[in-house]
Amino acid sequence: MDAKKRQPIGIELVKRGLITELDIEKALDYQKQYPNKKLGDIINILGLCDSRVLIQTIGEILDEKAIYLTAKDITINVTDYISIDIAKNNKAIPFDIVAGRIKVCFADTSNKRAIETVRLLLLNKGLVMEKYITFESNIEKILTSLEGVANEKINTNSNITELVDSIIKTAMEKRASDIHIEPMEHEVRVRYRIDGELYTAVTIENEKQSQIIGRLKAISNMHQEKQEAQDGRILVYPDYNIRVSSQKNVYGEKFVLRLLKKNTDIKRLFELGFPEDDQLVNKAFNKRNSITLVAAPTGEGKTTTLYSIIDYLNRPEINITTIEDPVEIRIEGLNQIEIDPRTTFSDSLRTVLRQDPDIILVGEIRDNETAEIAMQAGQTGHYVLSTIHTIDSIEVLTRLRKMGVSNYDIASTLATSVSQRLVRRLCPNCKREREYTEQEKAVLESIIKKYNLPIDLAGKTTYEAVGCPKCNNTGYYDRIAVFEVLILTDNLREMIVNNSSTIEIREQAMKERYEPLVIDGIKKVINGTTTLEELNKKLLIY
């Protein structure tokens, strides 16, 4: 479009029916307070129309390629191509490379100086730049996550004791579950895992690498001279038990610190995201002479769910024993056993069976021996709870079969299998209501139709992540689980004994109240708990 003939953005948007003249007045009032903000960005901030439609329309008006840029669109490591400072100064984010052409988003495509600066920088790397436009707030959000979530409390110029202490304490304040301290070619990078996502907290000059390693080894009781992989613990913080793992890489020793909070309150099942159905809970977990397994990949909250089930079942007249590696949360009234390098889950389970338990929690079933003993325990009057690594609750059957457990033992002993995934919960402080996009509607309606769900999207809106200080400008705060529950009925038991395939068992289970993960997931999207984007990260539904 010829810039000389082009109408102002606001008029063009009104002419195209995206906003009204009243919306323009609201945006102009806002611009009086924030004169440096562009009108398109203000319309987006105020939520006056669908963000994705808005940026595409602005792109058409400006004759520029446009994208509503989010973290999921970034397929490259941004800092491999431009530094954080250059990205901030030019309000630019490279996000994809195809056949030597690198796609770069700008907040202002009229800023020729910024565009030329980035273009030449990338050209020197042998890449041709392809220019896109997006909202400045999208770029700021991504830069915040790249730049780090740590605040001024991490002073890289302080002495090593204070520096390591501030890295750990800031991680605690930011609700991090893990700290990654990673030696790289030119620096030491510190990242925090918050709500399942890794964020760069700070980078430290390479000269301090050996001192940081020495301090970490000293406080975690590791061998100073040994450079092979080691495990240790940091016990100097009263409210935390910190597990430490070191591993040598090409640039030095990497450390991962797992922050385990002591005396953490056990969340109720419903708080975790379990369907609020007392009848389902009683049917799934009030058992004897059986086994309940919680299934999911690593890091999806299986142990937390086990603790919640135990908390639900815990009463003074019941003897509950747990076998864990390690004991992550101490619970009053339980007999908790921590296995050591000289023992296994199966060894401890044999001993526990002589301790007159009613309920036994086994941290994980990972081999045939543990599986067989757990099955025997379930067949002799005990209720056994454990975890297993599978993709969903029905594939638990396949996993047990591959471990060598007979179809008869599975059918007679397995009572319930639960599968789950953790998704980030929208920050209640800043989430913003908006209309569904056409793509989102199409995805949801296809799932609703596939499973014949009694859900009508007509007139319904969704929510999107925005970002505020409370959520470290990510738009998300904490995580919630998406669940599916398989309760074995007589029909399903008979099919297992007859060696039916999991495909056949799944078809029958669908007729008997079983709902796969995606159903609970879209319910949580529709009620504004999470986003379709978050759900797709875990379940790949589109």
Q: Which amino acid is at 374?
A: A
In the predicted model, is pLDDT for residue 150 greater than 70? no
Neighbour count for residue 85 (Cβ, 10 Å): 9
Query: What pLDDT was estimated at residue 234?
Result: 95
pLDDT confidence bin for 2, thresholds 50/70/90: very low
Half-sphere exposure of 43 (CA within 13 A, CB side): 26
Q: Tens digit of pLDDT for each residue in 432-453? A: 888 888 888 999 999 999 999 9
Listed in order, the ranges of the chain carrying CATH 3.30.450.90 are 148-261
Query: What pLDDT was estimated at residue 1?
Result: 36
pLDDT confidence bin for 4, thresholds 50/70/90: very low
Q: Which residue has the tokens 């209640």?
A: 428
How far the first Cα of the chain sits from its last, in Å, is 34
For the ranges 195-199, 209-213, 348-352, the maximum mean pLDDT occurs at 209-213
pLDDT confidence bin for 147, thresholds 50/70/90: low
Give the CA distances from residue 513 to residues 47, 64, 133, 488, 500, in Å, rounded to whole numbers and listed in that order: 39, 50, 47, 11, 19
Residues in the chain: 542
Mean pLDDT confidence for 95-104: 91
Percent of all residues in the chain with a pLDDT value above 90, rounded to a whole number:
57
Task: State the architecture of 9-141 in CATH terms.
Answer: 2-Layer Sandwich (3.30)
Q: What six digits make up the tokens of 382? A: 């005990």
Helix (H, G, I), strand (E, B) or coil at 289: coil
Query: What pLDDT was estimated at residue 31?
Result: 84
β-strands 65-66, 128-133 pairing? parallel
In the predicted model, is pLDDT for residue 6 greater than 70? no
Mean pLDDT confidence for 277-281: 88
Query: What pLDDT was estimated at residue 77?
Result: 79
What average pLDDT does the chain have?
A: 89
Helix (H, G, I), strand (E, B) or coil at 7: coil
In the predicted model, is pLDDT for residue 402 greater than 50? yes
Three-state helix/strand/coil letters over 316-379: CCCCEEEEECCCCCCCCCCEEEECCCCCCHHHHHHHHHHHCCCEEEECCCCCHHHHHHHHHHHH
pTM (2 d.p.): 0.75
Distance of alpha carbon 304 from alpha carbon 284, whole angstroms: 17
In the predicted model, is pLDDT for residue 342 greater than 70? yes
Q: Tens digit of pLDDT for each residue in 37-95? A: 888 889 988 888 888 999 999 999 999 999 999 888 888 878 778 877 788 889 999 99
More confident call, 539 vs 30: 539
In the predicted model, is pLDDT for residue 329 greater than 50? yes
Query: What pLDDT was estimated at residue 495?
Result: 97
Mean pLDDT confidence for 147-175: 82
More confident call, 220 vs 36: 220
Listed in order, the ranges of the chain carrying CATH 3.30.300.160 are 9-141
For the ranges 5-19, 270-284, 397-411, 446-460, the maximum mean pLDDT occurs at 397-411
Q: Tens digit of pLDDT for each residue in 357-374? A: 999 999 999 999 999 999
In the predicted model, is pLDDT for residue 389 greater than 70? yes
Give the CA distances from residue 150 to residues 53, 137, 360, 455, 486, in Å, rounded to whole numbers and listed in that order: 34, 20, 41, 42, 42
CATH number for the region 148-261 comes to: 3.30.450.90
Give the CA distances from residue 201 to residues 101, 193, 249, in Å, rounded to whole numbers and listed in that order: 30, 10, 20
Q: Tens digit of pLDDT for each residue in 221-262? A: 999 988 889 999 999 998 898 999 999 999 999 999 999 887
- Topology of 269-424+479-515 in CATH? Rossmann fold (3.40.50)
Mean pLDDT confidence for 160-175: 94
pLDDT confidence bin for 403, thresholds 50/70/90: very high
Query: What pLDDT was estimated at residue 424?
Result: 94
Percent of all residues in the chain with a pLDDT value above 70, rounded to a whole number:
97
Listed in order, the ranges of the chain carrying CATH 3.40.50.300 are 269-424+479-515
In the predicted model, is pLDDT for residue 476 greater than 60? yes
